[in-house]
Chain A
Amino acid sequence: MTGDSRTNLPRLALHVPEPKFRPGDAVDFADVAVPPAGAQARPDTAAAPDSFHDLSYTLVRVLDEQGQAVGPWNPRLDPDMLRRMLLKMATVRAFDERMFRAQRQGKTSFYMKCTGEEAIAVAGTMALDRDDMTFPSYRQQGILITRDYPLIEMMNQIYSNTADKLQGKQLPIMYSSKDYGFFSISGNLTTQYPQAVGWAMASASKGDTRIAATWCGEGSTAEGDFHSALTFATVYRAPVIFNVVNNQWAISSFSGFAGAEATTFAARAIGYGIAGLRVDGNDALAVYAATAWAAERARTNQGPTLIEHFTYRAEGHSTSDDPSQYRSAGEPTAWPMGDPIARLKAHLVNIGEWDDDRHAQMDRDVAEQVRAAQKAAEANGILGHGLHQPLDTLFDGVFEDMPWHLREQRAQMMAEEEASGRPWARKEGH
């Protein structure tokens, strides 16, 4: 009966998003809007959140096609700082390439590169104070590298070796360093978002001057924690910076599955009463300027900022991923915002502070630095080559003090190892 009375109504249709290009397709990013550099207004850091509509739908850009830094967002950094920025980005890329290869060589189980996204973590971190707290996702290795965390420590963790500060407890790249203001990375997506807000609220409640910054990908903005974090942040005007790294892909799902067909991620800030900036994520100067702006806003008790970094994940999601199975191989090179390292290099050359020879020398230097760190790290062992941590550390740190049931299980495990005849049973390792 219901069917009869509804025969004249149009049929509903379920919309399931589909990326523009699949494997084998020719790529044309002509419809990706790339506004001219320097054309975006730079509001006062105390501006009301509801005034950010335009900035949430455009792209803040500083570096133009000729490599000049233009417009009100130009952070006017001195050449030494620009060179340091370039160096750190080059180091991140060299590190990624080396560790990716190490995984392919079977020296570790897993790795994730951030190729094409180096500007976001490096320039963002340079715009923060050294003691501001960062709550990263797994693709901000540039934070540690920018803060001069020893490369060998990162590699020790990746290899789960004798020197691994996390005692081999964590999957490779899930770094943690309180001393470097780098919160323990979790495999569970976006859990760090409300945690960053809590840290920022704690800092504010103590009358501290430090702020927090956090990062997630565009895919994981769909998590409930994203919503709860933004709600908490706006309610308590928390001194926190939310970074959404929109690299277009969440493993095989394009950004449309996080809602990008209908809006931008920066625009989500508007509804929460949070300042929202959308930034060319491959423009290191724009990333720096936006982060410095948001940091000043947070530090002056004007509240949180959400920055969408519009970028492109140039490589696979991880060493376990093959992007040729779901996207066109032409996408990374066709990306209209180019390569963040090449663009910063062009700028330094443009202002007469850099040249091809120095760049080539820098690349040789970072490659050598990374190679040396790898050699030193591998002297501490690589994954799978015997036992690296004393066996009984398996039970350390579940609780501050070990309860009886863990002590019993530890004794059981040690007895099993003795019975196994494996050399692992020796407590001292190796």
Chain B
Amino acid sequence: MARMNMIQAINSAMDVVMDRDPSVIVMGEDVGYFGGVFRATAGLQSKYGKTRVFDTPITECGIIGVAVGMGAYGLRPVPEIQFADYIYPALDQLVSEAARLRYRSAGDFTAPITVRSPFGGGIFGGQTHSQSPEGIFTHVSGIKTVIPSTPYDAKGLLIAAIEDNDPVLFFEPKRIYNGPFDGNWDKPAQNWSKHPGGEVPEGYYRIELGKAKVVREGSDLTILAYGTMVHVAQATVEAAGIDAEILDLRTLVPLDIDAIEASVKKTGRCMIVHEATRTGGFGAELSALVQERCFHHLEAPIERVTGFDTPYPHSLEWAYFPGPVRIGQALKKIMQD
């Protein structure tokens, strides 16, 4: 066991898999010599060489298109998109190609690629360094979407994602790269050293995709969250003294429906928390699923606590961010209903 922050855990995951499997290659803007703008690939090029870890031109459609071709050859590429906000030029390659390749060729060709991309807000990133576009991809048949919330999960999930034979989008909440964030932006930042999720095995281990984790057991209500919002929700319910059960979904597609159903049927209430904008966000799908499957157990309307339906602002970040106040008000409402 070692103490790692999420960057180190992600770096370790790639290191471990590259060491075991020569078909794994890492590519993206600034990931090679420099080691990535967030240092996630630091040291990998010097260890594995330039033909396995290399810098790319600044063309996201090219990065993903090339990765699909490498996958067709038999490699297992791990391309990085520097910020999730810049994944859109690659949408066609992801949606039309990577996601459909197995289906349209009836298994003749596959796209075993893992696209890593920092995502989410809380860092004064403004409009194009803060977005949470997971809902765009959960809508696409054939792509898996994974979002870790601790260093331990990040490493285990990333190893599983890279070894998975389907295309995986691995969104890394950059707000919690260095430490958990409870939403209290005006308090000193924490690091991972005291959080149990910062204990990370140095070697190989996997966390199965499609399995949620119960972060906190409780009986008053169920909170469905992922990424940074797991920590914000947890701090908020602790402060409010509410006995909430918090599920860290970890994988959005395929979703751990059994864990969700079991929890909501136990508590009778469900709150969904995500940073992404509300309309058409993944919370809408979660809400619909809970409503369909737990209707007779629900004692209150399902609450969604999300980002507002606006582009992510710069100076007004903490008014936009679904933090302790917004979650706290929603908690009051759902417990009174």
Binding site for B on A (CB under 8 A): 133, 135, 165-167, 169-170, 174, 176-178, 183-184, 186-188, 191, 193-206, 212, 224-225, 227-229, 231-232, 235, 396-400, 403-405
Contact = CB atoms under 8 A, between A and B. Distances in A.
Interface in B171-227: 210
Interface in B99-117: 100-110
A167 B106 contact: yes
Contacts of B102: 397-400
A294 B49 CA distance: 29
A178 B70 contact: no
A167 B108 CA distance: 11
Contacts of A165: 106, 108
Contacts of B72: 133, 183, 195, 198-199
A154 to B, nearest CB: 14
19 contacts: A133-B72, A166-B104, A166-B105, A167-B106, A174-B104, A187-B96, A188-B96, A188-B97, A191-B92, A195-B66, A195-B69, A195-B72, A196-B69, A205-B25, A228-B61, A229-B65, A232-B62, A232-B66, A398-B103
Interface of B: 25, 51-52, 56-57, 59, 61-62, 64-75, 77, 89, 92-93, 96-97, 100-110, 141-142, 144, 164-166, 210, 253-255, 257-258
Nearest to A188: B96
Given A194-B62, A195-B65, A227-B59, A170 B104 contact: yes
A231 B67 CA distance: 15
B109 A169 contact: no
A371 to B, nearest CB: 27
B82 to A, nearest CB: 15
Contacts, number: 152
Contacts of B144: 399
B38 to A, nearest CB: 23
B229 to A, nearest CB: 23
Contacts of A396: 106-107
A203 B101 CA distance: 20
A403 B57 contact: no
B166 A400 contact: yes
A170 B108 CA distance: 13
A184 B109 contact: yes
B73 A232 contact: no
A170 B101 CA distance: 11
Contacts of B258: 404
Contacts of B110: 400
A400 to B, nearest CB: 5
A397 B73 contact: no
A163 B81 CA distance: 40
A397 B111 CA distance: 12
B25 A228 contact: no
A26 B257 CA distance: 67
A403 B210 contact: yes
Contact of A231 (B59, B165, B166): B59
Q: Which 3 A-B pairs have the closest CB atoms?
A: A198-B69, A194-B65, A228-B62
Given A198-B65, A224-B89, A398 B141 contact: yes
A231 B61 CA distance: 11
Contacts of B25: 205
A242 to B, nearest CB: 13
A39 to B, nearest CB: 37
Nearest to A389: B106
A144 to B, nearest CB: 13
